[in-house]
Structure 1
């Protein structure tokens, strides 16, 4: 069931969204050569505990994972892109790190992801990160009343095509509100003018993610971490967005938006 949120409820989601943005900004600053992924997990966990927020990931047991997930942030490196299980790995110069975080505050959720480069940036890594960021902004622009869900998917796909990146359709965006995953799957590939008509009060987590040379995925032995099937590097950008009477409202916008260096 699709639940349209009131302006007051969207503002409560915005409280959670601002905190998610704060944590991801901190993680991006801390991601440096020699830092262990478990250090980033523990830092995020401490911020969540001090804020009195609730991790949407802790004890999460979806059909596609080997649950329960016992971490508060997803951290994926290089060819890993989704549901990265934090583990004992020390970041190296040139690594591409994706951090994905969802929390609830006072019963309302927000979800966001960003990809950063640790140390020295390779141009091809900067390029794929830019592609996901541009695709996300294009998707957000389509999140207006009267447009259709397919307009969002088509906007993401168009950017991917412009950059020459293939698009996986198994995982994409989703509804969000009282829980991290609500009804509506938002594919990263679609046709404009198709699907449900967007209405004010609809809240979505939009999340384009691309691998450089494949649309196929594989799972790590941990049952969670998803990688590109051919080992090519990846990037993932996500925001929680509310459809309003006017312009889309991005609930997880960061103050350091657009910076891809860790």
Structure 2
């Protein structure tokens, strides 16, 4: 009944109620079998993910909140499928910033949940997530004057920190080409002295995670001039940055650079 309401309800309250009902079923561990499976022999979880994804793309906050909650619940059972859909919505620039920031929160939750079980995530899902997050970060760090400054800063910080979590979880899914692009992203982000504190913190957090995850392989994906530029940025930030948190993060990134990359 919840699946039918969520997918076919004509009004916003009905669709939102259907999504909420589905989430409760998933939270209770209800997995339908046999005759309970919807018509056309659809897989129940995949069908639920489709209606959750549909709700996330509607643009209505009431429907979206229930849809993202359902997707988060489903990710505990089908992480690969949920990651593919979450990645799609995170890079969907037609969604408002507030929606995409919520998607990023769920991506971070999924990454944290599977931190010790990364190999259980299908290769294509992890690769698509990495590609999507990098694409969003490349776009966001270049934005200067579109939207409110608060929205821009929040989205920049979110794109950088979410990419950091994904790299930490799936370092083997980062190609050499993508690694070079990550280097360009962090150099641009860390070089912006006028960026809000949350953006600079996320920038140096990404560097810390990047060095920690790739270790000595970092020298294979970053060019020598990129490493040199990053080294200079870290040296300045850990001593001179006006924000204490940035100084700490820059110091940690410098330690990882010395002990795990250049040892």
Please indicate the TM-score interval, normalised by the length of the shorter structure: under 0.3
TM-score (norm 1): 0.28
More strand by share: 1
Could you state the TM-score of these two structures normalised by the residue count of structure 2? 0.28
Larger radius of gyration: 2
